[in-house]
Amino acid sequence: MLIQEIGRQSLLITFEHVEDPAFRATAVANRTTGIIEKMAILGDVTILTEVVHGAPLDPGRQVEFLPITDWIRPNY
């Protein structure tokens, strides 16, 4: 996984398959909300245009992303 800053408020996250580096998925996350706004996986593109969240955002709050220390286990 590779994370790059894009502009002032977005993060581009690129996921690479372990066994096939040509198979990649990307997501764009909003740094302010932490919400993924765009995702592309094998030709499918999802763009969220209207996101509603349950709590008002505090523009003075510093967003913190914790480092990933282990793989994300599937929940099924």
Question: CB neighbours (10 Å) of residue 12?
Answer: 15
Give the Cα separation of 71 and 41 in Å (integer): 19
Question: Confidence band (pLDDT; 50, 70, 90) for 74?
Answer: low
Average pLDDT, stretch 48-75? 71
Domain chopping of the chain, boundaries: 2-47
Please say if the pLDDT value at position 76 is more than 60.
Answer: no
User: Mind listing the pLDDT tens digit for each residue in 19-38?
Assistant: 777 778 899 998 888 888 88
Q: Enter the pTM of the model.
A: 0.55
